[in-house]
Amino acid sequence: MSVRVYVPRDSAALSVGAEGVARAIASEASSRGLDITLVRNGSRGMFWLEPLVEVETAEGRIAYGPVSREAVAGLFEAGFLEGKAHALSLGPTEEIPYLKQQERLTFARCGIVDPLSLSEYVAHSGYRGLRQALTLEPQAIVDAVKTSGLRGRGGAGFPTGIKWNTVLQTEADQKYICCNADEGDSGTYADRMIMEGDPFVLIEGMTIAAIAVKATQGYIYCRSEYPHAFRTMQRAIATAYENGYLGANVAGSGKRFDLEVRLGAGAYICGEETSMLESLEGRRGQIRPKPPLPALEGLFGKPTVVNNLISLATVPIILDKGADYYRDFGMGRSRGTLTIQLAGNIKHGGLVETAFGMTLHDAIYNFGAGTATGRPLRAVQVGGPLGAYFPASFLDTPLDYEAFAARKGMLGHGGIVVFDDTVDLAKQARFAMEFCAIESCGKCTPCRVGSTRGVEVIDRIIANQNRTQNLRLLDDLCELMLDGSLCALGGLIPLPVMSAIRHFPEDFDKPGPTSPALLNPEVLTADREKNPWR
């Protein structure tokens, strides 16, 4: 009998050599005359173990990792096809504590199935949510999503069911479902993992959304930095069409839903929903003032559901297992599970899906095993480039929308970027403003001009020029950007800047790089000679 061997096709796994490992396993098996079936699954999300190779045995799947091309022959020698011991053996995959301690709902199939096999998807409870939805009236589907307590996983945390309800209640000849897969926040990769590891769950979630609000056309806006995810999504959509899960007669229901994946073009701002709609319409990704809400006048002026990818990919399990099942996970007003993404200077970086409420400390130390460099942790940025920098003393913060807001932070899309003690927070604050200047859409003045002025002011602070006045000026500028910007980019970039100053004042109070020069005439002269224009 053919032995099933799993080597991920997830692009993070590919980035550390999964393709070479897969080829080596195939050629080693063929030269030994062994019959194997190589399955290219998604990633389990334990990236320090990638390439993580799994073998299906009578005792379940046995994991080996991180496997290099060079280690493949040795694995065959040791009898890994029977799940035998080897230095790289990790035992049964499901028993690895990192996975065992998680509550995987949205990511239930990711890393387990062949992402492009519709039959495997269906065999692993796929399309059960849609079947359930097709027995319900649209209002009942919307009510189930409302009851589940699902909130937008893109960062704003707006209740998904309420958004859907608005679209359902709005009469129109055409409505749209748009999936925001422009996952631009540094430290996040959950959307990418779903697109590469379980694309049908997103297709199913969007189909349920379409039936719930009576939309017939959907778009997935995938960022161009994710070419693998884009291609996987395209292939999965084609398969869904071939098998009657998309098109004029979705799963034999007589209802139509068409779906297309579109590529962004490297603009961070297109993760903002109205910019994304502009971009989908073929324009510059400049934000639209709200109101009107996209739910009333969205894509091409029609009522549109715009949801984050993780929100949509969570819908099938809510319909399948029931709203109460989902709502029973979590804390306070943050219901269900959160997909935490451990990133940056972290030893065991990866995806952790668990109920809301775990503390930052437990995420970083129990799962992440501390910094990759082994140096002390000094700062953590949660929620992407618009998220606050927290000091080590804030590690007791529970991962919950309200708890983060209370500490002037933001949970965002659940990305946690860890920095060790070599980080310079003045430099990070400067980068935040620089990033905003590069990525600002230019629509509103506080963001467009404020970000450039912000870089200049921070440069003066770092250079120790009128530091006290410039810190006051920066504070004032941040307040203006926060109050006066049209969207979250200019409106939230003060978060990382001000948190860096508040929690790490010592980094803004160092002797400036210009001061030694001023004190040392020789350096000053040397500098002058280098620059003939002075």
Nearest approach in angstroms of CB 368 to other proteins is: 9
Cβ atoms of 9 and 40 within 8 Å: the answer is: yes
**Residue 141 neighbours by CB under 8 Å, 6+ apart:** 133, 208, 211, 212, 319
Running DSSP on this structure, what letter comes out for residue 329?
Answer: S
Q: Is 14 in the site for other proteins (CB under 8 A)?
A: yes
Q: Is 374 in the site for other proteins (CB under 8 A)?
A: no
Nearest approach in angstroms of CB 270 to other proteins is: 9
> Is the Cβ of residue 49 or residue 457 nearer to other proteins in the bound state?
49
Cβ atoms of 237 and 230 within 8 Å: the answer is: no
Q: Is 187 left (phi over 0), alpha (psi -120 to 50) or beta?
A: left
List the beta bridge partners of residue 179: 220, 307
CA distance 474 to 394: 24
Nearest approach in angstroms of CB 332 to other proteins is: 28
Among residues 7, 312, 418, 500, the one that binds other proteins under rule CB under 8 A: 418
Running DSSP on this structure, what letter comes out for residue 17?
Answer: T
**Residue 404 neighbours by CB under 8 Å, 6+ apart:** 382, 383, 397, 410, 411
> Is the Cβ of residue 225 or residue 475 nearer to other proteins in the bound state?
225
Q: Is the peptide bond before 97 cis (omega within 30 degrees of 0)?
A: no
Cβ atoms of 409 and 390 within 8 Å: the answer is: yes
Nearest approach in angstroms of CB 251 to other proteins is: 25
Task: With contacts defined by CB under 8 A, name the span among 52-60, 112-120, 433-441, 464-472 that binds other proteins.
Answer: 433-441
List the interface residues with other proteins, window 321-350 (CB under 8 A).
Answer: 341-346, 349-350
Helix axes 190-197, 199-213, angle to 10 degrees: 100
Among residues 6, 48, 107, 504, the one that binds other proteins under rule CB under 8 A: 48
List the beta bridge partners of residue 38: 5
Question: What sign results for the dihedral spanned by CA atoms 423, 425, 430, 431?
Answer: positive
Among residues 228, 321, 361, 453, the one that binds other proteins under rule CB under 8 A: 228
Q: Is 226 in the site for other proteins (CB under 8 A)?
A: yes
Strand ranges inside 117-256, DSSP E: 176-181, 217-222
Residue 37 CA from chain centroid, whole number: 31
Q: Is 365 in the site for other proteins (CB under 8 A)?
A: no
CA distance 110 to 40: 12
> Is the Cβ of residue 36 or residue 392 nearer to other proteins in the bound state?
392
Question: What does the per-residue mask of binding to other proteins show for 106-145, with x meaning CB under 8 A?
Answer: ----------------------------------------
Question: What does the per-residue mask of binding to other proteins show for 170-209, with x meaning CB under 8 A?
Answer: -------------xxxxxxx-xx-----------------
Which H/E stretch holds residue 170? none
Mapped onto helix, strand or coil, the DSSP state of residue 419 is strand
By rule CB under 8 A, what count of residues binds other proteins? 63
> Is the Cβ of residue 144 or residue 497 nearer to other proteins in the bound state?
497
Q: Is 224 in the site for other proteins (CB under 8 A)?
A: yes
Encoding tokens for residue 137?
Answer: 């009236």
Helices (H) and strands (E) in the chain, counts: 23, 16
| Number of CB atoms found within 10 A of residue 19's CB | 15
**Residue 465 neighbours by CB under 8 Å, 6+ apart:** 512, 514
Q: Is the peptide bond before 159 cis (omega within 30 degrees of 0)?
A: no
Q: Is 218 in the site for other proteins (CB under 8 A)?
A: no
Question: What does the per-residue mask of binding to other proteins show for 259-288, with x meaning CB under 8 A?
Answer: ---xxxxxxx----------xxxxxxxx--
Q: Is 294 in the site for other proteins (CB under 8 A)?
A: no
Label the pairing between strands 258-263 and 217-222: parallel
> Is the Cβ of residue 23 or residue 84 nearer to other proteins in the bound state?
23
Helix, strand, coil shares of the chain, percent, nearest 5, are 50, 15, 35
Task: With contacts defined by CB under 8 A, name the span among 11-19, 34-42, 121-129, 246-254 that binds other proteins.
Answer: 11-19
CA distance 169 to 139: 9
> Is the Cβ of residue 121 or residue 226 nearer to other proteins in the bound state?
226
> Is the Cβ of residue 77 or residue 421 nearer to other proteins in the bound state?
421
> Is the Cβ of residue 168 or residue 346 nearer to other proteins in the bound state?
346
Q: Is 102 in the site for other proteins (CB under 8 A)?
A: no
Among residues 37, 77, 119, 227, the one that binds other proteins under rule CB under 8 A: 227
> Is the Cβ of residue 109 or residue 223 nearer to other proteins in the bound state?
223
Question: What does the per-residue mask of binding to other proteins show for 375-414, with x meaning CB under 8 A?
Answer: ------x--xx-----------------------------
Nearest approach in angstroms of CB 349 to other proteins is: 3
Task: With contacts defined by CB under 8 A, name the span among 257-265, 325-333, 392-400, 452-460 that binds other proteins.
Answer: 257-265
For other proteins, the binding residues (CB under 8 A) are 11-12, 14-16, 47-48, 50, 183-189, 191-192, 224-229, 262-268, 279-286, 300, 341-346, 349-350, 372, 381, 384-385, 415, 417-420, 423, 428, 431, 435, 438-439, 441
